[in-house]
Amino acid sequence: MHIYGPPARYPIAATAAKPPPCHADLAAYRAVMRRLGTQRVIVVQPSAYGADNACTMHAVAALGPGTARAVVVVAPDTPEPEIAALHAAGARGARFFLLEGAPLGWDALPAVAARVAPFGWHVQLQFDGGEMAERAPLIGALPCPVVIDHNGRFHHSVPPDRPPVRALLSLLDCGRVWVKCSSPYGVSRNGPPDYADVAAIARAIIAAAPERVVWGSNWPHPNPPDHALDEAALLDLLGAWTPDEATRRRILVDNPASLYGF
């Protein structure tokens, strides 16, 4: 999920594609946690703040080390002591948002991956999954784990047997690539309540590598669809994708504990 704060305290980056959502502060997310019954949270640096991780890290500090971790933005020239300080404060991954408003591009990815690998971090990638086959050699060669956002985020609806999805499933075979099952509404052509096209991909991902799947709410849904969203209903979808309790526990508890160092 993401946290946003007052613009006077947390200025919007020049690269931001649009203003951040309102009423998306820590108090609002704590209400979501109470409703869902979740106890841990990963605060992901939003593209609105570029490489200024202050809002994200302040939220992690307020939530506490037993509750929160962060995925932040670092650049190829970020000093090592700064990365070490972020690690000590709870950061465990470097985010690459590779769509409109991106603070860093694909060209920076290998250097950043090399910088964060010694800290045991992963890199988290969000991009159009239609590029998956083209990007797979680079992703597979990175020296650290990789988390691919939003079920691969295939902008054009494709079934699991098509080349872009097969490329993602092949990446899972390497043992270092993870997928976040989140935001099915972002690219679905079928829409609610079950987002059937994205659900088919999510099921294929979970069947291929249940030990390297995590779930996310994507709250506060910075790119909302044209229908109402309910975080509880989105969480319930995971039950439809993983009907056995052991796999659900793996995705919701054990896998994130391993990936984020709880």
The answer on pLDDT for 157 being more than 90 is: no
What are the tens digits of pLDDT across the range 195-210? Answer: 999 999 999 999 999 9
Contact between 203 and 246 (Cβ < 8 Å): no
**Closest residue by Cα to residue 214 from 246, 176, 182:** 182
218 is catalytic: yes
3-state secondary structure string across the chain: CCCCCCCCCCCCCCCCCCCCCCCCCHHHHHHHHHHHCCCCEEEECCHHHCCCCHHHHHHHHHHCCCCEEEEECCCCCCCHHHHHHHHHCCEEEEEEECCCCCCCCHHHHHHHHHHHHHHCCEEEEECCHHHHHHHHHHHHHCCCCEEECHHHCCCCCCCCCCHHHHHHHHHHCCCCEEEEECCHHHCCCCCCCCCHHHHHHHHHHHHHCHHHEEECCCCCCCCCCCCCCCHHHHHHHHHHHCCCHHHHHHHHHHHHHHHHCC
Taking the C-alpha atoms of residue 118 and residue 104, their distance in angstroms, rounded to an integer, is: 21
Express each pLDDT in 90-123 by its tens digit: 999 999 999 988 899 999 999 999 999 999 999 9
Confidence check: pLDDT of 22 > 80: no
pLDDT of 183 reads 97
Phi, psi of 238 (to 5 degrees): -60, -35
**pLDDT of amino acid 26:** 95
For each of the domains in the chain, give its residue range(s) and CATH number, in order of start: 26-260 (3.20.20.140)
Beta strand pairing status for 91-97 and 122-126?
parallel
Better-scored residue on pLDDT, 22 or 74: 74
Structural contact between residues 231 and 219, judged by C-beta atoms closer than 8 angstroms: yes
Rounded Cα gap, residues 45 and 70, in angstroms: 7
Q: What is the mean pLDDT of the chain?
A: 96
pLDDT of residue 57: 98
pLDDT for residue 101: 86
> For position 120, what pLDDT does the model report?
98
**81-90, 114-123, 156-165: which has the minimum mean pLDDT?**
156-165
Q: Tokens 């309540």 belong to which residue?
A: 193
Give the list of residues 6+ apart from residue 139 with CB closer than 8 angstroms, or none: 125, 146, 148, 171, 177
Angle, in degrees to the nearest 10, between helices 196-208 and 231-241: 50
Which pLDDT score, from 0 to 100, does residue 237 have? 97
Given a cut of 80, whether residue 40 has pLDDT beyond it is: yes
Confidence of residue 19 (pLDDT cuts 50, 70, 90): confident
Q: What is the pLDDT of residue 17?
A: 86
The reported pLDDT for the residue numbered 44 is 98
Pull the structure tokens for residue 116. Answer: 């964060």
Sheet holding 146-148, edge to edge: 41-44, 68-72, 91-97, 122-126, 146-148, 177-181, 213-215
| Lowest mean pLDDT segment, chosen from 65-69, 84-88, 98-102, 114-118 | 98-102
Q: Report the share of the chain in percent with pLDDT over 70.
A: 100
| Catalytic site residue from 53, 151, 218, 255 | 218
Residue-wise pLDDT for 50-61, tens only, equals: 999 999 999 999
Region 210-221: mean pLDDT is: 97
